Amino acid sequence: MTQPAGPTSAARHKAPAASSIVVVGNVRNCGTWIAETISELERALSVFRRVQWLIIESDSDDDSRKQLAALAQRIEQFDVRHLGTLRERIPLRTERLAFCRNSSLNEIKHAERYRDVDYVLVVDLDGLTGRLTAAGIASCWDRDDWDVCTANQRGPYYDIWTLRHPFWSPNDCWQQYRVMTALGIAKSEAESSAVYSRMVTIPEDAGWIEVESAFGGLAIYRREAIVRGAYHGLSSDGEEVSPGAARARLPHFHQSPPG
> Structural domain boundaries of the chain?
16-155+206-255, 157-200
Residue 123's H or E segment, with its range, is: strand 119-123
Q: Which fold has domain 16-155+206-255?
A: Spore Coat Polysaccharide Biosynthesis Protein SpsA; Chain A (3.90.550)
Q: What per-residue confidence (pLDDT) applies to 126?
A: 82
Give the tens place of pLDDT for each residue, 22-56: 999 999 999 999 999 999 999 999 999 999 999 99
pLDDT value of position 242: 84
Phi, psi of 59 (to 5 degrees): 65, 15
Q: How far is CA 205 from the centre of its chain?
A: 23
pLDDT of residue 249: 36
CA–CA dist 159, 45 (Å, integer): 23
Asked if residues 90 and 143 have their Cβ atoms less than 8 Å apart, the reply is: no
Give Dmax over CA atoms of the chain in angstroms: 57
Local structure of residue 170 (DSSP, 8 states): -
Q: Radius of gyration over alpha carbons of the chain, in Å? A: 18
| 240 burial level (CB within 10 Å; 0-12, 13-18, 19+) | middle
Given this model, what pLDDT does residue 4 score? 37
How far apart, in whole angstroms, are the C-alpha atoms of residue 76 and residue 52? 8
Residue 161's identity, in one-letter code, is W
Q: Structure pTM?
A: 0.89
| C-alpha span between 186 and 94 (Å, rounded) | 26
| pLDDT tens per residue, range 99-118 | 999 999 999 999 999 999 99
Decide: 45 and 21 in contact? Cβ < 8 Å.
Answer: yes
| Count of H-run helices and E-run strands, the chain | 7, 8
State phi, psi for 50 to the nearest 5 degrees: -145, 140
Do 219 and 148 contact (CB within 8 A), yes or no? yes
Residues of the chain whose pLDDT is less than 50?
A: 2-7, 9-10, 245-259
